[in-house]
Amino acid sequence: MSELGDLLDDIVSDVDGTLLFSPSGSLYERFAEAGSPVVVATENAVGTEHHVELPLEFDDVSERVRFGVEGAIENGFAEEGEQLVCVLALFSEDADTVTRVRAGDFEQSGVYDLFVNKSRPLSYNPFEKSHVHVGDPIVDVMLKEFSRLDGAFVISDSGKIVSAYRYLEPAAEGVDIPKGLGARHMAAGAITMDTNAVAVVLSESDGLVRAFSGGEIILELDPEAY
């Protein structure tokens, strides 16, 4: 067990900051006594000034950590190159997982930028507290109705519907779309240049479905053919 203790000591020694993911109040208080931990959570339940708001609890732990680190850097809570220890509760309500990362060492996913700087809500998000999956047959009618309104859907890599009514505001420099396609295609192409997202657009003019990745059309199909 001494070897295990030494390993854990190596992970947490000489770190520059701590990120607590959805901590309980008691866990936050324990860490707050020793410094100013950054809380990464959907809500700021502990009332800290150092809070990064999660739009969802990412099923992929690496994406959750990546989002938290990107948010900490963006808000000035951490700087690139700093060593950060991340504390998460994956299998229970108590902290059970600790990992160490160097801020800025990994490729930016752009997800934080998408929610904070590249988009804004147009109205109340009906999926804010839900766990609706895009593949659930029961939500087909609901999605069709929401799709008639302005704004984009944001769907996580696991298929969870994170948001509706989202207005995309990416920079459009360098995006080249075919003539005849409008603003929604431009926004879709641009957002995939700024982030690692894939955008799917239903055209009002010709009824075709197009998918964008890296600012380019990677798929084009006619729904009437299926």
CA distance 45 to 9: 29
Domains in the chain, ordered, with CATH? 2-102 (3.40.1380.20), 117-225 (3.40.1700.10)
Q: How far is CA 81 from CA 16, 51, 104, 161, 223, in A?
A: 10, 20, 6, 33, 48
Enumerate residues 6+ apart whose C-beta is below 8 A from 213: 192, 198, 199
- Tell me the pLDDT tens digit for each residue of 53-73: 988 777 778 888 988 999 999
Specify the pairing of strand 17-21 against strand 38-41: parallel
CA distance 2 to 4: 5
- Tell me the pLDDT tens digit for each residue of 193-204: 888 889 999 888
Q: How many CB atoms lie within 10 A of CB 148?
A: 6
Calculate mean pLDDT across residues 107-120: 78
Enumerate residues 6+ apart whose C-beta is below 8 A from 110: 118, 194, 195, 196, 197
Please report which confidence band the pLDDT of residue 148 belongs to, taking 50, 70 and 90 as the band edges.
Answer: confident
Is residue 17 within 8 Å of residue 82, measured between CB atoms?
yes
Phi, psi values for residue 22, rounded to 5°: 50, 55
Nearest to 17 by CA among 58, 76, 89: 76
pLDDT at 42: 87
**The pTM is what?**
0.71
Phi, psi values for residue 142, rounded to 5°: -60, -45
